[in-house]
Amino acid sequence: MSEHIGAKPGVWEGEARPLFLAPMAGVSDLPFRLLAKDCGADVTITEFTNSTALTREAAMSWRKMESHATEIPFIPQIFGGDAGDMATAAEMLAPTADIIDLNFGCPAPKVTKICAGAALMGEPDNLVSMVDGIIQRVDVPVTAKMRLGTGQGANNALEICKELENIGTSRLCIHGRTLRQRYAGEADWNSITRIVNEVEVPVVANGDVNDAESAKLCLETTGAAGLMIGRGAIGRPAIFGEIKVGLGWMAEEELPWIKELGEDWYVRSEIGRAFATRKWCWDKYIEHSHKTIGLQPRWMQRHAIAFTKGLPGAKKIRHMMHGAPTPEDFAIGISNYLAPNTNE
Ligand SMILES: Cc1cc2nc3c(=O)[nH]c(=O)nc-3n(C[C@H](O)[C@H](O)[C@H](O)COP(=O)(O)O)c2cc1C
């Protein structure tokens, strides 16, 4: 058992279980992952990266694989349709990674057309032998994230998971949808439960966990070893702390944005608290960017749109986003927009 992956836990009795920030292309960049940890996420994973590009030393792809001393464990996620490139990329990452995660869940046509991501679930033998080849080549734990199946024919995640367990995969994460469903419909937690019950490695449940209530229901239903949160964390990384407070795993006054405001927090309106929380998160995102890879305009823009979404005046701030002369001005502009309202 790896120091970063515990044993499979038993029935959930309300105790804390790890919360994962989902790997998300265009979202889970390094400063955002560090921010998610500040907000209460226990584990973060990089966005998926093309293994063939990594083997060709593509700078853009290696940039996605950067980490920081405070990101423990560091878990890069890779995808690809070529077993040799997958194993080589894993080998290149192993010296710096604590765990290597493999993507068998992506439904994007540019990925599935090279028979990578979720398309590999349609070729289970190839999927399993690919993972086996990787496990043979690296001495760090290997984990896999997948869907329930392709959606053509019966779902096969359970059979695949049993085989992956047998060859030494250390942890599995199941997104409760099929490839065909992409993001439509409700995540099927009952199918995740069957996998949790039938394998001995820890299984993380993923799909439609958006708040403390759904987190509780998902843990009650699945008994999973942890929960992974994707879309619910976009623009709202505070969700991790909010879930922990809602489930009684931490005290509300321990949340860092409340700690910073002290008594002021309690006299604010709901919207005033939303501004205050998002300002704290935005400022931390910028601080982590400076500390790691510097301000990245495209990443900042995406997060700024998500962080301000739904707040009064958010549309007007879009003009400022386009007109900011430098990334520093952009960062300050968003922070200022979020600031005055914290007095509400
Ligand atoms: C914008 C976006 C990008 C994603 N990129 C990845 C990725 O790089 N790797 C991966 O395994 N899943 C990726 N996913 C899927 C999520 O990790 C997660 O499985 C899915 O969103 C379901 O969880 P949720 O209901 O909490 O959002 C992505 C999802 C979104 C919305």
- For residue 343, pLDDT over 60 is answered with no
Over 90: is that where the pLDDT of 214 sits?
yes
Residue of the CA atom closest to atom 7 of ligand 1? 24
Which atom of ligand 1 approaches the CA of 103 most closely? 11
Bond into 73 cis (ω within 30) = yes
Phi-psi region of 52 (alpha: psi -120 to 50; beta: other; left: phi over 0): alpha
Q: What are phi and psi of 94, to 5 degrees?
A: -55, -40
Provide the domain count of the chain. 2
Residue 11 lies in a domain: no
Q: Would 148 be classed as within a structural domain? A: yes
Say whether both 231 and 335 belong to one domain: no
Q: pLDDT per residue over 299-323, tens digit each?
A: 999 999 999 999 998 888 888 888 8
Give the whole-angstrom CA distance, residue 245 versus residue 224: 19
- The answer to whether the CB of 145 is under 6 A from ligand 1 is yes
CB 157 within 8 A of CB 149: yes
Q: Rounded CA gap, 262 and 269, in Å?
A: 15
For residue 179, give both structure tokens.
């490839």
Would you state the pLDDT for residue 323?
87
Q: Three-state SS for 145? A: strand
Closest CA relative to residue 300, chosen from 316, 312, 317, 313 = 317
Residues 176/148, Cβ–Cβ less than 8 Å: yes
For 38-75, how does the pLDDT look when each residue is reduced to its tens digit (9 = 90+)? 999 999 999 999 999 999 999 999 999 999 999 999 99
Amino acid at 88: T
Q: Is residue 54 classed as helix, strand or coil in its secondary structure?
A: helix
The interaxial angle of helices 297-308 and 30-39, nearest 10 deg, is 40
Tell me, using a 6 A CB cutoff, whether residue 77 lines ligand 1: yes
Q: How far apart are CA 272 and CA 343, in angstroms?
A: 7
Distance between CA 18 and CA 99 in Å, rounded? 16
Residue 263 has pLDDT above 80, yes or no: yes
Lowest mean pLDDT across 83-87, 238-242, 313-317: 313-317
Residue 201 lies in a domain: yes
> With bands split at pLDDT 50, 70 and 90, how would you rate the model's confidence at 344?
low
Same structural domain, 170 and 277: no
**39 C-alpha vs ligand 1 centroid, how far in Å?**
19
Q: Tell me, in angstroms, the distance from the centre of ligand 1 to residue 79's CA.
A: 13
Burial (Cβ within 10 Å: 0-12, 13-18, ≥19) of residue 321: middle
Question: pLDDT, tens digit, for every residue of 131-180?
Answer: 999 999 999 999 999 999 999 999 999 999 999 999 999 999 999 999 99
Does residue 276 sit in the same domain as residue 339? yes
Instruction: Please tell me the distance between residue 267's alpha carbon and the centre of ligand 1 in angstroms.
Output: 36
Q: Which of 106, 161, 173, 281 is catalytic?
A: 106
Q: For residue 341, what pLDDT is reported? A: 55
Instruction: Judge whether 262 lies within some domain.
Output: yes
| Weakest-pLDDT range from 72-76, 115-119, 336-340 | 336-340
pLDDT at 342: 47
Q: Domain boundary residue among 219, 250, 281?
A: 250
Per-residue pLDDT band at 183 (split at 50, 70, 90): very high
> Is position 9 within any domain?
no
Q: State whether 179 and 264 are in the same domain.
A: no
| Average pLDDT value for the chain | 95
Residue for token digits 């007109």? 323
Whether 10 is in a domain gets the answer no
- Ligand 1 site, residue 51, Cβ cutoff 6 A: no
Domain that holds residue 195: 19-250
* Distance from the alpha carbon of residue 24 to the mean position of ligand 1, in angstroms: 5
For residues 46 and 190, state if they share a domain: yes
Whether 207 is in the pocket of ligand 1, judged by its Cβ within 6 Å, is yes
In a domain, 14, yes or no: no
23 φψ region: left (φ > 0), alpha (ψ -120 to 50), beta (else): beta
Question: C-alpha dihedral over 6, 7, 10, 16, to 10 degrees?
Answer: 0
The rounded Å distance from CA 59 to ligand 1 centre is: 23
pLDDT of residue 340: 61
Among positive and negative, which fits the CA dihedral 222, 224, 230, 233?
positive
**Which of 196, 139, 138, 131 minimizes the C-alpha distance to 167?**
131
106 carries an active-site annotation: yes
Closest ligand 1 atom to Cα of 210: 26
Q: Where are the alpha helices (DSSP H) in 82-122?
A: 83-93, 109-112
Ligand 1 contact, 231 CB (< 6 A): yes
* Domain CATH for 145: 3.20.20.70
Task: Phi first, then psi: give them for residue 108, nearest 5 degrees.
Answer: -65, 130
Residue where one domain finishes, among candidates 250, 268, 288? 250
The better pLDDT of the pair 21, 115 is held by: 21
- Whether residue 81 has its Cβ less than 6 Å from ligand 1: no
Q: Is the distance from the beta carbon of residue 175 to the nearest atom of ligand 1 less than 6 Å?
A: yes
Q: Give pLDDT, residue 336.
A: 94
